Amino acid sequence: MIQVKIFYAHNDLRNFSYLIWDSTTAHAWVIDPFDEKPIIDYIKKESLTLMGIFNTHQHWDHIRGNSALQGLFNCPVLSRNENQIELNSQHLIKFIDTPGHTSDHVAFYWQKGQDVLALFSGDTLFNSGVGNCHGGGNVVSLFETTNRLKKLPDNVVLYPGHDYVLKNLLFAKDCEPENKEIDEALKMVKAADTEQGLQWTLGQEKKVNPFLRLNTREIQEKAMVHKMSIDSGPSIERNLFIKLRSLRDNW
């Protein structure tokens, strides 16, 4: 069975790292290691073999633990050229190009055969938000990437690179004050244990994430383009996305 262990870093950036491992073979892979210590402790406790390291992008907080883990376990940092890594005979991790937050950002699909079970999104898609474009990013690319990810099935589970959900939801609430799903999500998040993550699906995200809700009237009004048709075309949605990202940057 494939398992996912979540590591919350308790730092100002509120990073998440993930260990994905097969309980039959005890083979494990780490995604975006921030603090290597709890990851090493867990690997030892479960007697796992670390097979490789995935990084969504090169920002320091997503690669911070690489060298310590490489040094201790003698495992490779997996490159985009690998295309996909088999976890066992049924499950795999597939590299997906997701430019926007940075130009060479990648995300990872966890697949069983052709079915995508989960998305490790790094700093592309967050719970109720998207990544910023401050450190070498491009907002139009981020829009195009977000639109592609939005087409994944609703039951795909999201594992983001940071816990920014509370502020993201408060921004979402500001955009859509009448959206009751956001009220419910806020209640859930306030009661949740950050250490455990949320494991929201993309279906849930589509109910509360303003960047996935560009065709709603409230979002259009928030972006001060309320005279535009609700039945909007791709370039209008792109402009809305850019405006919304800018509003969030200054919120």
CA-based nearest residue to 230, from 211, 215, 241, 246: 215
Taking the C-alpha atoms of residue 74 and residue 34, their distance in angstroms, rounded to an integer, is: 18
Stretch that binds Fe ion, among 13-21, 47-55, 85-93, 117-125 (CB under 5 A): 117-125
Token pair recorded at residue 35: 């603090």
Q: How far apart are CA 47 and CA 224, in angstroms?
A: 55
Which part of the chain contacts Fe ion (CB under 5 A), choosing from 51-59, 77-85, 179-187, 232-240?
Answer: 51-59
Question: Considering beta carbons, is residue 15 or 201 the nearer one to Fe ion?
Answer: 15
Buried b (16+ CB within 10 A) or exposed e, 204-233: bbebbbbbbbbeeebbbebbeeeebeeebe
> Binding residue for Fe ion (CB under 5 A) from 14, 15, 59, 186?
59
Residue 243 engages Fe ion in binding (rule: CB under 5 A): no
Q: Which stretch binds Fe ion (CB under 5 A): 56-64, 113-121, 147-155, 213-221?
A: 56-64
Spatial contact of 3 and 9, defined as CB atoms under 8 Å apart: no
Q: How far is the CB of 60 from Fe ion (least distance, A)?
A: 9
| CB of residue 61 to Fe ion, shortest distance in Å | 7
From 68-76, 87-95, 115-123, 209-217, give the range in contact with Fe ion by CB under 5 A: 115-123
Smallest separation, CB 144 to Fe ion (Å): 18
Question: What residue ranges bind Fe ion (CB under 5 A)?
Answer: 59, 123
